[in-house]
Structure 1
Amino acid sequence: MAAIEIYDTTLRDGTQAEDIAFTLEDKIRIAHLLDEMEFHYIEGGYPGSNPKDALFFEEVRKKPLKFSKVASFGMTRRVGGQVESDPIINSLLSAETEVVTVVGKSWDLHVRDALRTDPEENLRAIFESLEYLKKRGRMVIYDAEHLFDGYRANPEYCLKTLKAAADAGADRIVLCDTNGGSLPSFVSTVVKIVKEAVDVPIGIHTHNDSELAVANTLAAVEVAAVHVQGTINGYGERCGNANLVSIIPDLVLKMGHEAIPRKHLKRLRELTRFVNELANMPDNKRQAFVGESAFAHKGGMHVSAVVRNPETYEHIDPELVGNHRRVLVSDLSGRSNILYKAQEFGIDIDSRDPLVMEIL
């Protein structure tokens, strides 16, 4: 199966979540752990928006990453302005990253109501911004903001924005479900259409406002996407971004793709907890794959079956993602729960021992 690029934006998009704030040292530590796990890209921040993000790029150069490529993030030039003198574009160059990610408008509603300009000026801003950065030796990733809403509203203009990015030399075109309202079937349909319209590798960037960010990401990969953006633990604005801690094992274990090396899947639980700790956020015990409850068994019938064959109630071996099986004891327990817990604590007890029935 095709190799899928993993692009982490925890340090930029993830910090837009309510209650999330990382210090500069936090961001450096997270970047180095992601590098150890061989994430392909790490978006370090938006150097044109605040001094801390600009400083991150200075600090990360002092101890270069071994595998991951650091990306700086910005937007297309200002409406009516000159790209050469645009402060955001120049902040991307000042960050001195090999990769730059530029977001631009795909939805004519945003062109009219947010940028307050005409459609042609938006196309010029996309083309000129990306071309300028390409000519200065950068790998350019174009994030097509509100792509799916834009296509729904005005498919012809939406595709024109992508063609402007492709003509300017974009290395990746990333389709963004910025409002998080699309369904997987629609995502699949649009990704197929875009794949036919532009000859550039396609990426996907989804938000979780409809609880579908992971599903929409996988739907895009199934049809054409080879580049996946998301955050650790799904941190992000409003309801969050696509959760890479779920997407990565889905890609590798369920879909057979290469993403991060399989050996690093065992560190996903560690990564989840490390980022939560730095963010001062509690661990989500019910988080898929890595949560404390992800492989917890309570009902007696379930435990009895899992003891005989774990596949009966576990979709993967928990150790593949650094997790472990847990058996709980409650009023729902059966004999197998008691025997399992006894063995766990090193207590030798026979299944026919009257004590087992007394406990039950």
Structure 2
Amino acid sequence: MTERLYIYDTTLRDGQQTQGVQFSLTEKQQIATALDALGVDYIEGGWPGANPTDSDFFDAAPKTRATFTAFGMTKRAGYSAENDDVLAGVMNAGTSAVCLVGKSHDFHVTTALGITLDENVENISATMAYMVKEGREALYDAEHFFDGYKANPDYALTCVKAAYDAGARWVVLCDTNGGTLPHEVYEITKAVIAAGIPGDHLGIHTHDDTGNAVACSLAAIDAGARQVQGTLNGLGERCGNANLVTLIPILLTKEPYASAYELGVNKDALAGLTRMSRQLDDILNRVPNKSSPFVGASAFAHKAGLHASAILKDPTTYEHIPPETVGNTRIVPMSNQAGQSNLRARLADAGIEVEKGDPRLGDILNRVKEREDQGYAYDGAQASFELVARDVLGQLPQFFEVKRYKVTVERRKNKRNQMISLSEAIVVVKIGDDKKLSVSESMDASGTDRGPVNALAKALAKDLGPYQAIIEDMQLVDFKVRITQGGTEAQTRVIIDSEDGAGHRWSTVGVSPNIVDASFEALLDAIIWKLLRDGAQAA
């Protein structure tokens, strides 16, 4: 018989503690909608009254299946719960559930709050009782609980028992500093249950300061906790919180969890996890971490020839789950270490079937190795590799021909006597018998120059005639530059990551002594690959 395990997301509150992260109202609404579609049980929206964005978000609270939750703190000493204006601000948000943080470490009570230990216990008890009396689902976040337990177990237990006895639905054990290790979390969670708080009323909230946030969360579940808190992509203060994008697929695909627990997230929703993770990165204007478990671009990448050969026979030889389970894809990168096993696997992924022993396989490998000697790198530019292979195989249509392009960068003073730069690009392409000239500047809506590569990208994609509808939703999401050789022989390698409206990403590479030429080559490959993938016909 399965037990219910509850997922509590705090991306919109604790995730916003990440350095450099500040969600807008629209972004909060987008993330809440995505979380609800995923199937989490609780969405913590923020701290009402703490800042204008959080207040506006609660004023226009989204309609969610998940329990929408406000965050705050227990009442202050010297105030009743009914008359504490800070607590009133949280209550006035009108959410059905309220999560309130309170101290459980004696050192923090006397040093940070400057009150007595008994006053702190009374604050916890009175606040939880008030929440329950007002008909709210009460959650107590026991801040610094694990450090507090190690310093003074009796007092830490007194705090959490006060919350539970006053009617708290959930008592959440917080490893606020992130220094507790999994075996300690397991033992202490067991001790809390033995002290009289049932596991189905216990939650776990961990931080990743030792790289153990997910492991500590699993340890608490193993010990009996039945609510787990975390954030998308592990956002959070310092090193982040437990990463739900890692934790959820573990709970759904790994034993004993998959058989023992029922989650609000089902396997159909799990198939959208990779896209959700990347959607958050897009909102934050961050490059996705390729090494992220389950959802990273390298999570199912197989570079060694021996591995690729085995993957062709049976993917389970080097994959712990099928990548499509989480909406990811398998990649067999090409590099000068590649053998024919890698090559055939990579071609098969691209829908290109070549018989084993076909001499053209050797031609493709030779082309790849020659170009890598020139500075190209195809293990991180799968789309460009596919174009190279199709060219060797005679399967690369010519959609258009670039006749010429020109880029200028001008430095001048504007009407305010400020020195500014302006980049302009001209691109001439031939599509069938038709020549098209496109001109574009790199100035954005705010009047800032985005540089010559931006101008080139805009000009190239401005008017491709019959192909325009296919490339309309393309955008450049990452741009990486590396100098591959030093001195007078220096070569510049540019790798561009592109994305379309459906969330598909692909990478292309260009190499030249000139950074603009290298960038243009990568841009050109990105457009050609998109046309090829979407079934465009050569003019």
TM-score w.r.t. structure 2 length?
Answer: 0.65
Q: Say whether the 8 Å CA contact 1:46–1:53 is kept in structure 2.
A: yes
Hey, what does 2:382 align to over in structure 1?
A: none
Q: Say whether the 8 Å CA contact 1:166–1:198 is kept in structure 2.
A: no
Q: Say whether the 8 Å CA contact 2:331–2:346 is kept in structure 1.
A: no
- The residue type equivalent to 2:108 in the other structure is H
Q: Say whether the 8 Å CA contact 1:205–1:230 is kept in structure 2.
A: yes
Of residues 287, 291, 306, the one that matches 1:286 is 291
1:198 Cα offset (Å): 2.9
Q: Say whether the 8 Å CA contact 1:251–1:258 is kept in structure 2.
A: no
Asked if 1:2 is matched to 2:3, the reply is yes
1:203 Cα offset (Å): 0.5
| CA displacement, residues 310-343 of structure 1 (integer Å, 9 cap, x when unaligned) | 1111010110100010111112212111112233
Hey, what does 1:27 align to over in structure 2?
A: 28
* Larger relative helix fraction: 1
Hey, what does 2:13 align to over in structure 1?
A: 12
Asked if 1:264 is matched to 2:263, the reply is no
Hey, what does 2:415 align to over in structure 1?
A: none
1:211 Cα offset (Å): 0.4
- The residue type equivalent to 1:253 in the other structure is T
| CA displacement, residues 269-303 of structure 1 (integer Å, 9 cap, x when unaligned) | 11101111112222111111001110011000010
- For the residue of structure 1 that corresponds to 2:167, the secondary structure is coil
Of residues 279, 291, 307, the one that matches 2:312 is 307
Higher relative contact order (CA 8 A, sep 6+): 1
> Quick one: distance in 1 between partners of 2:197 and 2:4?
18
Unaligned runs of 5+ in 2: 367-539
Once superposed, what is the RMSD of the aligned Cα atoms? 1.3
- For the residue of structure 2 that corresponds to 1:39, the secondary structure is coil
Q: Say whether the 8 Å CA contact 2:72–2:90 is kept in structure 1.
A: yes
Hey, what does 1:202 align to over in structure 2?
A: 202
- For the residue of structure 2 that corresponds to 1:114, the secondary structure is helix
* Larger relative strand fraction: 2
- For the residue of structure 1 that corresponds to 2:191, the secondary structure is helix
Hey, what does 2:163 align to over in structure 1?
A: 165
Of residues 129, 137, 145, the one that matches 2:127 is 129
> Quick one: distance in 2 between partners of 1:244 and 1:56?
23
- The residue type equivalent to 2:214 in the other structure is V
> Quick one: distance in 1 between partners of 2:161 and 2:351?
65
Hey, what does 1:64 align to over in structure 2?
A: 63
| CA displacement, residues 132-155 of structure 1 (integer Å, 9 cap, x when unaligned) | 111000000111111100000000
Of residues 308, 317, 333, the one that matches 1:328 is 333
> Quick one: distance in 2 between partners of 1:348 and 1:315?
26
Equivalences for residues 100-111 of structure 1 within 5 A: 100-111=98-109
- The residue type equivalent to 2:140 in the other structure is Y
Hey, what does 1:250 align to over in structure 2?
A: 250
- The residue type equivalent to 1:251 in the other structure is L
- The residue type equivalent to 1:281 in the other structure is R
Q: Bigger radius of gyration, 1 or 2?
A: 2
Question: Could you list the runs of 4 or more consecutive aligned residues of structure 1 that deviate by over 4 angstroms after TM superposition?
Answer: none
- For the residue of structure 2 that corresponds to 1:173, the secondary structure is strand
Hey, what does 2:322 align to over in structure 1?
A: 317
TM-score w.r.t. structure 1 length?
Answer: 0.96
| CA displacement, residues 117-136 of structure 1 (integer Å, 9 cap, x when unaligned) | 11000001101111111100
CA distance 1:345–1:185, shift in 2 (3 Å) = closer
Hey, what does 2:219 align to over in structure 1?
A: 219
- The residue type equivalent to 1:37 in the other structure is L
State the identity as a percent: 46
- The residue type equivalent to 1:244 in the other structure is L
- The residue type equivalent to 1:24 in the other structure is L
Q: Say whether the 8 Å CA contact 1:48–1:74 is kept in structure 2.
A: no
1:47 Cα offset (Å): 0.7
> Quick one: distance in 2 between partners of 1:48 and 1:159?
31
Of residues 133, 141, 144, the one that matches 1:143 is 141
- Count of residue pairs brought into register by the alignment: 357
- For the residue of structure 2 that corresponds to 1:326, the secondary structure is coil
Hey, what does 2:41 align to over in structure 1?
A: 40
Q: Say whether the 8 Å CA contact 2:5–2:227 is kept in structure 1.
A: yes
> Quick one: distance in 2 between partners of 1:199 and 1:92?
26
Equivalences for residues 153-192 of structure 1 within 5 A: 153-192=151-190
CA distance 1:137–1:348, shift in 2 (3 Å) = closer
- For the residue of structure 2 that corresponds to 1:174, the secondary structure is strand
Unaligned runs of 5+ in 1: none
Q: Say whether the 8 Å CA contact 2:161–2:197 is kept in structure 1.
A: no
1:91 Cα offset (Å): 1.2
Hey, what does 1:355 align to over in structure 2?
A: 360
- For the residue of structure 2 that corresponds to 1:297, the secondary structure is coil
1:102 Cα offset (Å): 0.7
1:346 Cα offset (Å): 4.1
Hey, what does 2:83 align to over in structure 1?
A: 85
- The residue type equivalent to 2:310 in the other structure is A
Q: Say whether the 8 Å CA contact 2:273–2:326 is kept in structure 1.
A: yes
Greater mean deviation of Cα atoms: 341-350 or 32-41: 341-350
